[in-house]
A and B are shown apart, each in its own frame.
Chain A
Amino acid sequence: MTLPNDSKFTEPYFEAFFKEHFKAACSYCQYKYGFDIDTAKEIVHISFIRLWKKRDEIKADLSIEGYFYKILTNSTIDYLKHQRVKQKHETYVLKNYSQNEQGSTFSEPDFKQLSTDIENAVAELPEMMGLIFRLNRYEGLKYREIAKQLDISVKTVETQMSRALAKLRIRLSHYLHLYFVIFWVGDKIIF
């Protein structure tokens, strides 16, 4: 989004920008740094507040999105700096981020499209596979429950889940090559 000439980033524009980008920013934040949804929302809120405070600095031909995502990155780093719990995590992030975030162009995948793309990719799965996938990931059923419900073996469910994920991976590959992702496995961090 860029502003028309001579405009300021006033509330109507801000509101539109906010509503357009909030969810995508949360997905991005969650995916890239491994945060849970509540932390991601907090950081995104903080970033919008910071953007709001700086709104007078936004000139007509600036890419607001790029500017905002810079703020988002900085807010995340601030958050991690203060979260001294996972020290290894923080050191790793800061080390990677000071090196990599020099560019001014925003070239990350567009998370606004994420849910549509995922929907389409899941819809393209073969019928049984798609059903098993949805039952597990969307309805929250355990393998055993799915096996019982569909009258198949647990082994089949395991295999189908694995194949579903393999297919989805291909379809969503353009989201997946963010160069830096953190994983939390329980309390341990696996890099």
Chain B
Amino acid sequence: MSKRSKLEELIIAYLSDELDDDEEAFVIQWINSSEENKNSFREIEKSFHLLSINREVENIDIEVEWEKFRDTVSFKDQENSESEVDIQEPVSTEIGSNKRKFPSRIVFFVLAASLILFFGIRLGWFLNDITPDVNVSGDAAEGKIDRPVLVFHHEKNETGKDKEYSLGDGTKVVLSSNSELSYLVPFPGDRREISLSGKAYFKIAKDTLRPFSVISSYISTTAVGTEFEVNAFEKSNEIIVRLMEGKVMVKSAPGAEKMLDRDFYLSPGEELIFSKLKRSAKVKKVSPVSSNIALNKVNSAEDKPEIPKFEKGSWYMFNNQSLPDVFKQLEVIFQTRIDYSEKEISNIYFIGKFDKKDSLEVILKRITSINNLKLTSNNNKYIITK
């Protein structure tokens, strides 16, 4: 009897994400070891699941959903819009007859089979000479070009579940477990770039001026506004890009050994399979994509771009930025003043990576020791001097 209830407690703790890896493995093994166990688990999971669902559904704003629905089916007469002076019937009454059109800015939600491809990622794509394990290296580079203040964000998903992120531009990413991605905030310049190791599904916010690229160690996939999935785990031989909607171009990743002898363009319903061993790619058609169901996903009430939360395994990296810029960002991140003489250190540039767990003092010590600077602290602030 007590063994039974102990197991129940374990199962519930498991469902609440309370267990460590060993305990989890034990529970999963127990569940799968017999039909009876599976049923027991199912019983408990059902009620647990029901309660969780309720919370999620409670957050739905029915008015917002109704507006979304109306936008999708409503009659937007684009041709006549210029010279209609007469009073239009308010849209809330009977919706039109046969002239039903979808709004032009609809982002298609395509129900398509997803292909999963693995991208191996070498995070050094961004900093050519840095591998993920190397921490700090100071660089006294003279005469560098002015760079904007950027922070490099790194997301790692080790939760066992998919995680969704919204990027600052409105792009939505669903990152699978055992996957990580990195990108700069804000996206600098005329491009949006993200590097991926593992698997992620992207729904790119439309920005024709700034193409969005997903980069692995070998391949770069570029799209404008579109939906696609990239699967690129290091351990796998293949990298697959599957396109649901829009258009993407796949080519060799910049700064990496040239793997593809030409650029590939994908249309919806196509997939590209890159073989690391063969160092070549081919494009195949997949099952026809059903795109006759359109949903307006660009709903301003819902799309609040947010900086993703940092989990365990996330870190900051500074990419060849001047020390004043680095200190400015650290001040913001740690909410602590850092005094320095702009003149003294503005020609020193920094490339480095810090764990989110590192304290400001540790970070500053590292930076100053490498660059032969002195670090002192006073009241609630730090002072950097030559």
Binding site for B on A (CB under 8 A): 10-12, 15, 18-19, 22-23, 26-27, 30-31, 34, 36-38, 41-42, 45-46, 48-49, 52, 78-79, 82-85, 114-115, 118, 136-138, 142-143, 158-159, 161-162, 165-166, 168-169, 172, 175-176, 181, 183, 185-188, 190-191
Contact = CB atoms under 8 A, between A and B. Distances in A.
Contacts of B92: 11
A129 to B, nearest CB: 13
Interface of B: 5, 8-9, 12-13, 16, 18, 28, 31-32, 38, 41-58, 60, 62, 65-66, 68-69, 72-73, 92-95, 109, 111-114, 116, 160-162, 164, 176-177, 287, 289-290, 293, 295
A85 B95 contact: no
Given A23-B60, A23-B62, A172 B53 contact: no
6 contacts: A82-B112, A85-B114, A115-B54, A142-B18, A168-B51, A176-B43
A186 B51 contact: no
A19 B62 contact: yes
Contacts of A23: 57-58, 60, 62
Contacts of B109: 42
A37 B287 CA distance: 26
> Of residues A36, A38, A45, A46, which shows the largest number of chain B Cβ atoms within 10 Å of its Cβ?
A45
Contacts of A186: 160-161, 177
Contact of A137 (B43, B52, B114, B177): B52
A165 B12 contact: yes
A172 B290 CA distance: 38
Contacts of A49: 69, 72-73, 293, 295
Chain B: interface secondary structure?
helix
A176 B9 contact: no
Chain A: interface secondary structure?
helix
Contacts of B18: 142-143
Given A18-B66, A37-B56, A176-B50, A11 B93 contact: yes
Top 9 closest pairs, chain A to chain B, by CB: A84-B113, A186-B160, A37-B56, A82-B111, A162-B9, A169-B47, A30-B53, A158-B9, A27-B57
A42 B46 CA distance: 22
Contacts of B44: 165, 169
Contacts of B112: 82-83
B342 to A, nearest CB: 44
Contact of A161 (B12, B60, B72): B12
B98 to A, nearest CB: 12
Nearest to B31: A190
Nearest to A20: B62
Nearest to A122: B51
A138 B57 CA distance: 13
A26 B50 contact: no
Contact of B43 (A15, A48, A85, A169): A169
Contacts of B41: 183, 190
Contacts of B287: 82, 84
A185 B28 contact: yes
B57 A176 contact: no
Contacts of B42: 181, 183, 190
A37 B57 contact: yes
Nearest to A84: B113
Contacts of A34: 49
A122 to B, nearest CB: 8
Given A85-B116, A172-B50, A186-B177, A30 B56 contact: yes
